Amino acid sequence: MTVDYETLAKTISALTEGETDAVALMATVTCEVHHADDRFDWTGFYRVTEPEVLKIGPYQGGHGCLVIPFSRGVCGAAARTGETQLVADVDAFPGHIACASSTRSELVLPVMNAQNEVIAVFDIDSNQPDAFTETDAEALGAILSQVFAR
């Protein structure tokens, strides 16, 4: 299945219009993205809850790690650098945290607020190797900007 990102963006925009609560926004984005493609085995947010610390937020899929320091893993790298992490093989990523042993590849995008501060990361795990593309990263990044950077 290929994601129709144009339709997904319009759907998320309509569902989140006027909403300002970050957790409500995260829950809605997670649900819509998770069900948009069968490559997406775990989809969710890790929120910045204190300096250099991410804690699990709304997600779909099996359990996730509860706390991730900025210094560890793919999610930590996205939060620390403010850059999207497109990882074709998680076993080759230095310091990868295996919240689920089935995960083979991962896409993690920093989530910025209107002040351009990282408030969370959006994490998508796949049980397939090399499951994500630059197209996925760009389209999802645009959706996150549309929802959170207003």
Q: What is the pLDDT of residues 75-117, one digit of tens each?
A: 999 999 999 999 999 989 888 887 878 899 999 999 999 999 9
For the cut 80, the answer to whether the pLDDT of residue 8 exceeds it is: yes
Q: What is the DSSP letter of 47?
A: E
| Mean pLDDT, residues 61-67 | 93
- List of residues 6+ apart from 87 with CB closer than 8 A: 74, 93, 96, 105, 106, 107, 108
pTM of the model: 0.96
For the cut 70, the answer to whether the pLDDT of residue 1 exceeds it is: no
